Amino acid sequence: MTHRLTGVSPDALDLSVEILGHKLPFPFFVAPMGAHRMVHEEGEVATARGAGMAGTLYCSSGASNMTLEQIAEATAGPKWFQLYFNQDVNVTKSLLRRAKNAGYSAIVLTADALGPGMPDQFRAMGAPFRSDMSFGNHDPARGGTGDFMAQKADLTPDDIKMIKDETGLPVIVKGILRAKDVDPIIAAGADAIQVSNHGGRQIDGVPGAISALPLVAKAVDGRVPVIMDSGIRRGIDVIRALSMGATCVAVGRPVMYGLGVGGAPGVKSVLETLATELRSDMLLTGARSVADLDPSYIAMTGPSAEMQEG
């Protein structure tokens, strides 16, 4: 729902956003994704470098092929570490200590995957994991311990407290789709909520993250930042998500495509192209800054229509 005659000029647009102590030049960052060496030999090192070149935040997947230390060294920008909680608490604590020592400024607790998923399309291709790849953070040849596949399934809000006690870092809980899950998670100390369905790769039939976002954001009610990932492809997607309650969004597959085509410069190009699109779309929407975006910019139907304003 565009606004007109708002006096917005291209030079006056503000795409920046602040989240957990970081000011980003635009309201999106690189979502955690595993196994980057499937598409580029330099793997996550190149992706992190590209994110740093674009000036935005990189979230390092716990399923990376490169080690979290190698990834941290590759970017001058801010970085978060996505944790897959291990059945062995000592393995989990080791990962947390390493992440803090490497300069990661927040921990993303993965709640939307309780073991490696196996989508139908990946199975149809014969599950083609390369034999020369490993999960770098657990590779004993590179200082790692434990089995990445041995993930803890019985997660509870108490696990949030454990992470905070071990690191003293902010904790983002990733994978929330139900509004009723919000209160106990925030009460346990979560510093941000990430609405996500894990890119649609874990369980069939769950709603798209964008569909769940408005009701989750309403339940959060401004107490902590709200992040959304899954399905961000164009600048207008960012506007939709921010208008529906997200503080910022995380971008996945487009970044991986950029990595495959052009390495670190390809990642930088994808992020900068998305920012250029967002700038144009903001101007045409009539919003001066991302902070101005609210439900009045979205025409909604269904359960979220009650949030429609103006």
CA distance 299 to 310: 10
Assess whether 198 carries a catalytic annotation. Answer: yes
Tracing tokens 């910022």 back to the chain, one arrives at 248
274 φ, ψ to 5°? -65, -40
Q: What angle do CA 65, 71, 73 make, to 5 degrees?
A: 150
For residue 109, what are the β-bridge partners?
A: 83, 173
276 φ, ψ to 5°? -65, -45
3-state secondary structure of 291: helix
Which parts of 27-118 fold into alpha helices (H)? 44-54, 68-74, 89-101
Catalytic: which of 36, 40, 138, 198?
198
What angle do helix axes 158-167 and 89-101 make, rounded to 10 degrees? 40
Residues designated catalytic: 198
